[in-house]
Every structure is written in C-alpha cells, then in structure tokens.
Structure 1
C-alpha cells in the first residue's frame, strides 16, 4: 500500500469510527431515556436514582451523566420530546385548514385524546416530580405555560 492509499484508508477508518461512536451514543441515550421512563412510571420519580436508571439501561452511572446530565435533565428531555409529538402539529394543521366549526372541535378532541393517551403516564410523573423538585417544577411550568403552586 503506498503512502497516499494508506492515508486515505486511515482517514476513512476515522470517519467510520466517528459514525460508530455517534450511533453508540444515540443508542445509549435512547436506552437511558427508555429506562428512566419505565422506572419513573413504575416506581415514581422520587423513588428512582441515577444508579437505578444506569442499571436498567445497562450502562454506567458516569455515562448517564455524560449523555443525559442527570435525573432532572432526563425528565426535561422526556417532557420536551413529548411536547414535540407530531400529533400536536397534525391537529393544529388540520384545524387551520378546516372551515367547519364542528369539524374543528372533532379534530381538536381527537388530537388531544391521542396525545393524552400517549403521555398519560409521563404527565403523572411530571406532576409528581414537580411536587418534589424545583428543577422539575420549573420545567413543567416552562413546557406547559401554567404556574404550579
């Protein structure tokens, strides 16, 4: 192998390795979020530690902090991802395109029902967490626009 071919090969390997690392990081992040969701729903936010999340996700505690920045940040991410569900935009687009008031109500009810069914457990977790931690309370206030006493 000449010098130029070797340099290109090494460069290609470096690009491949970066892609592999990005994919592994994304997979680990997904595993952490899924594990946290399961644990928050089944045990309650206040009864779950970062160690529990790491164990459930099959990763190390430092990896949870590196990838997700801790328990409150995980909850913020879950709330943020839930608030960007495509059903919300679909319902709003359908309402904007509709001229019939009765159909508007039907579309809104459908969108709200689907959203509530998908995120019922997460909403319970958010409310419980907001009662326990200021960071969770602030996240809920920012995402919902409602003040929580």
Structure 2
C-alpha cells in the first residue's frame, strides 16, 4: 500500500500564523523605518522567529514587499466599480463611480501605499507587481471610458483612448498621491474635486 503524505491541520495552521506574523511585522517596520532601513533579522525579531524561518516562510525583503502590495493592488473595489459602471446609464454617475471606486481602493490601504509605493521603484520584484497592478488599473479605466463612449457622452473631440487617459490623469494613482499625500487634502475633498473636474474634461454635458 502506497504511503501518502501526511498533512497536519494543526501544523498548517501554525505555518499560516507564522507567515501572517512575519508579514505583519514587516509591514509595520517598513512603514515606520522605510523599506531600505529594515533587515530580515529585524523582521524575524519583531515576529518572534528565526531569520531562517522568515526566508523559508515568505522569502527575503523584496518578496515580502511584493506580498504586502498584492492585496492593495488587487483590491475588490475595482471589480465592484466595473459592475456598477456597466449597469449605469447616467454618464455623470459613471464618472462619480470611477472617482469613488479608485478612492476606496486607495483609502483602504493608504498607510501602506503611501509608505511603500515609492520604495517599489528600487526593488525589481516589487516593481513588477506594481507595474502589473497599473496595467489592471489602466484596463479598468479603459472599460469605464468605453462605457462613456457607448452612452455617447464624451466631448466630440475625445476618442475612447484619450478618454481613458483623461480618467488616468484625474483618478489614477498619481492624482490621489498628489492631493492626499503631498497636498494633505482629505479623501472626501479629493474625490469631490477630481470627479467634478473629470466630468468637465470628459463629458459633452458635464453638469446635472
């Protein structure tokens, strides 16, 4: 009789708890001290494990940074926003939904995004995750621009591709970083202004 591998639920639970503790500790340290100033030894100490356990469970610093970014990059707000946009027949509300959805996706992970996104540019592994996330972001905004095209709501000089670029300008990640992080606007104020200005730039009839 062939022997199969034995999987202990208790052991799996312990491994998952260890991994979560490492990721939580790394996130806190990265935010407090900056990614470049944190070592694997410090992460291990904060998580109460040996450095070898960090490598075995989550990989090195860059792999941990990637794992921390993935939930923010793939926040479910994007999918919910696209569903709502597909059902909406009011162009002004479509733009409002784009502003609200991108706001919620950023706000839910803001402390981590604000601290770690700039660090990604120095780490190829994390930068690849961010680049893939930006591609998904751009695709979602292109779908919203296509909905505005279907509704025949765009200014006559705008193509669908240009409309997607305009949406990127007003509700892409840089817009939230510029207003909320750099200029210290509230998310409420930023959402309201970005949605209003995006409607002016995109729609043939921007006012209600």
TM-score by length of 1: 0.77
Specify which structure has the higher proportion of helix. 1
How many residues align? The count is 130
SS state at 2:118 partner: helix
**1:140 deviation in Å?**
2.6
Q: 2:108 aligns to what SS in structure 1?
A: helix
CA apart distance, 1:107: 1.5
Cα shift at 1:93: 1.5
Q: Is the 8 A contact 1:46 1:129 kept in 2?
A: no
Picking from 61, 76, 89, the partner of 2:66 is: 76
RMSD of equivalent CA atoms? 1.9
Q: What CA deviation, in whole Å up to 9, does each residue of 1:115-146 have, x standing for no partner? A: 1112223323121242x333333333333249
For the 8 Å contact 1:91–1:111, the answer to whether it is kept is: yes
Give the counterpart of 1:136 among 120, 126, 133: 126
Aligned residue among 117, 121, 143 for 1:126: 117
Cα distance in 2 between the residues matched to 1:97 and 1:64: 46
Report matched runs for 1:50-65 at 5 Å: 50-65=40-55
Please point out which of 18, 21, 24 is paired with 1:28.
18
CA contact (8 A) 2:120 2:130 kept: no
Structure 1 unaligned runs (5+)? 1-13
Please give the residue correspondences for 1:91-110 in structure 2 after superposition, counting only pairs within 5 Å: 91-110=81-100
1: CA distance, partners of 2:71 / 2:26: 14
**What's the offset of the Cα at 1:43?**
0.6
Unaligned segments of structure 2, at least 5 residues: 1-5, 139-208
Contact in 2 for aligned 1:31/1:57 (Cα 8 Å)? yes
TM-score (ref. length: structure 2): 0.57
Instruction: Give the drift of 1:110.
Output: 1.2
